[in-house]
Amino acid sequence: MSGAMLSASQTRDEIAAGRQTAADVCRAAIERMQATQPTLNAFNLIDADRALARAEAIDRQRAAGAALGPLAGVPVVLKDNLCVRGMRTTASSKILDTFVPPYDATVVRKLEAAGAVIVGKANCDEFAMGSSTENSAYGPARNPWDLDRTPGGSSGGSAAAVAAGLASAALGTDGAGSIRIPAACCGLFGLKVQRGRISTAPDVHPHRDMAVIGPIARTVEDAARLADVLKDGGPSYAEAARGEPGHLRVAVSTGVALPGLHANAEQLSGVDAAAALLRELGHEVIPRELDWDIALGNRVLTRFVRGVGDMAVELGHRERLSRRARGMARIGMMIPARAAEAAEAQAAADAERINRIFDESDVVLTPMFTRRPLRVREYDGASGLRTLNGNVRLAPYAGAFNHTGQPAVSVPVATASDGFPIGVQLVGKPDSEPLLIALSAQLERHTNWPARRPAVAA
């Protein structure tokens, strides 16, 4: 099997300079994907023929002297809830086992216009209901850093593929942490952009308007390049990744709204490592707790879970959902629509209260998890309610910022004693993606995280 994939930026530059062909890069990616599929189960579909045809077309463009797009020849993986015309799209559910969409999602059109080569559809939790990628009709995905653990979710296959070097970058969706969670589980950078920054079409107001689409990548610059292609205008994120953030006030907040719940020592060690590095880099680091409470947590959960119920009603055939997904959908349908609407109406007031922390700070640093990611099959046989409770208790720091809509990222910063990655979350005020990207890139330059590889990618 060929060596691990180059970064998206390196791959594009190699192809543009003629040192590699897009077709050879694509073949190597497909070879890696097929070789690791029995171990990682990162993919629901590997579309070798379509991908190779796209790559060969890019090589012909280069040979003809045509200008190449910013992602020319870069292998990209899509979460299997993003539609590609003519490519089976299942959302990891038997309900859509034979669904072949007659249209492209807007993000797919933009990716391909930029020259990206879509190599496959990544495994995920069924209809994005979960944070482990165990709740999939096609079996659980596994974490390249520890095959006995999940890669997080619901965009877990996307993160496993990038961490293992099977593709340069991936797209996921994030309705309550589903980009940041798997990125942190797999030692990657995950970007949740501000709501409305990247089109979710043809999906309209997914998960009660909590979900966004965004990149998962090994490097901050790779994620920034993808986001630049996907968003509509505004400042260049790639330029932000190459710049410096300036002197910042960073608030450290480790508390959660759930009584008795807290991050364990391993996760807090990641926060401590990040805080120490930030101080070393000249930033002011101050302890400040976010003003969130149990009522806010209930509103976040109400919106998201009712969104799951809405989707189940829209799809029909609920008897074909897995037991856990069916249970979660049932809980969602039990929540009155007016309760979800009231929670959504309260989002602006919640955002105003939470964002008062930015009167005294520029960025907020939180843990990503309360504990290490779930073991594979940890929730086997569990009900939808138990699974939902476990998801909330694993990653209680993420969903609030889907509710408020502001940007947040997950950044790898440290390792546990056995080498397993530990990530943290950085949260910014509205419209602060360039600042979060610049700060994350600064941390990356000093930790050199992209050079680290799990054994599966060696």
Annotated active-site positions, please?
79, 154, 178
Q: Which amino acid is at 435?
A: L
Placement of tokens 């970007």 in the chain: 191
Residue 294, burial from CB neighbour count under 10 angstroms (0-12, 13-18, 19+): exposed
For the CA atoms of 276, 282, 283, 284, what is the dihedral angle to 10 degrees? 80
CB under 8 A, 24+ apart: contacts of 206-209: 206/173, 206/175, 206/307, 207/128, 207/175, 207/176, 207/303, 207/304, 207/307, 207/308, 207/311, 207/402, 208/303, 208/304, 208/306, 208/307, 208/310, 208/340, 208/344, 209/303, 209/344
Q: Which residues pair with 154 in a beta bridge?
A: none
Consecutive H or E run containing 298? helix 294-315
d(CA 189, CA 346): 30
The rounded radius of gyration (Å) of the Cα atoms in the chain is: 20
Query: Half-sphere exposure of residue 221, counting CA atoms within 13 Å on the CB side?
Result: 19
How does DSSP classify residue 100?
-
- Tell me the angle at which helices 8-16 and 220-230 cross, rounded to the nearest 10 degrees: 70
d(CA 287, CA 300): 25
Q: Which residues pair with 214 in a beta bridge?
A: 172
d(CA 179, CA 296): 21
Count Cβ neighbours within 10 Å for each residue of 110-141 and write b for 16 or more, e otherwise: bbbebbbbbbbbbbbbbbbbbbbbbbbbbebb
- Tell me the angle at which helices 347-354 and 294-315 cross, rounded to the nearest 10 degrees: 140
Q: Which amino acid is at 257?
A: A
